[in-house]
Amino acid sequence: MTRSLPAAVLWDMDGTLVDTEPYWMAAEKPLVESYGGTWSHEQALTLVGLGLEDAARILQQAGVRLSTGEIIDTLTASVMTALAEQGIPFRPGARELLADLRAAGIKTALVTMSLRRMALTVTDLMDFDAFDLVIAGDDVVRPKPFPDPYLQACTALGVDPADTVAIEDSPNGLRSAVAAGTTALGVPHMVSLEGIGASALWPSLDGRLARDIAELHTAHSARRREDAAL
């Protein structure tokens, strides 16, 4: 089977491109505790991949007496400070794969539920021109797990979702990518992605290059054609 490159590769950010989930968790716990509540690691895992407004409402239920916007601003500022002080904690293989995709001439987009200022902090700290487009949580009406963020990215890039690969680490993100009609690649980090409908699950991006993405996209497109013919 001849490999075909996708028209674009769409990247989630937190937990997929960069390992910022510990930064978020480190910000959540003292915030809840400052209002007399408790916040466990298991509770923190429930926020992975959620839109920030949904996450803020859960923190309010845990006792944080701030508005949704204030919670989002507080957490975002904390994570941005950690990024500035500690640098970008790339997930294994993510930077190398992204650079290889760019070298192959494939369009790339960052599709994240973090705020745009957070996403731009990450892209500005990168040492190469990594993305053609950034779609952030404050750019969309409906967050992941709705398909809107990925559909919006495809529209802006001028590509068919069926001709893209989306890379995700969270259940909600993967559901969004699947619902948008992409070739949805799951790379689990903190939570399992079994049974969500990924086109493939890879344990890591380490050692993966554009040719691997092309093989995945080609195989998924062939299966899609076979299913349509039935």
From the list 196, 16, 215, the residue with the least C-alpha distance to 111 is 16
Topology of domain 21-86 in CATH is DNA polymerase; domain 1 (1.10.150)
Query: Quick one: pLDDT at residue 228?
Result: 78
- Please say if 12 is a catalytic residue: yes
Given a cut of 90, whether residue 2 has pLDDT beyond it is no
pLDDT at 218 over 90: yes
Its sign, for the CA torsion 196, 201, 205, 211, is: negative
Annotated active-site residue in 12, 19, 148, 169: 12
Q: Cis peptide leading into 89, omega within 30 of 0?
A: no
Domain segments of the chain: what residues?
A: 8-19+90-229, 21-86
* 1, pLDDT greater than 60: no
Which tokens sit at 84? 């500035």
Confidence of residue 52 (pLDDT cuts 50, 70, 90): confident
- Gap between the Cα atoms of 117 and 199, Å rounded: 31
How far is the C-alpha of 56 from the C-alpha of 66, rounded, in Å?
Answer: 9
The domain defined by 8-19+90-229 folds into: Rossmann fold (3.40.50)
Q: What is the mean pLDDT of residues 181-195?
A: 95
CB within 8 A of 100, min separation 6: which ones?
Answer: 209, 210
Catalytic residue, candidates 14, 19, 148, 169:
14
pTM, full prediction: 0.87
Q: What pLDDT sits at residue 146? A: 96
Strand 200-201, strand 107-111: pairing = unpaired
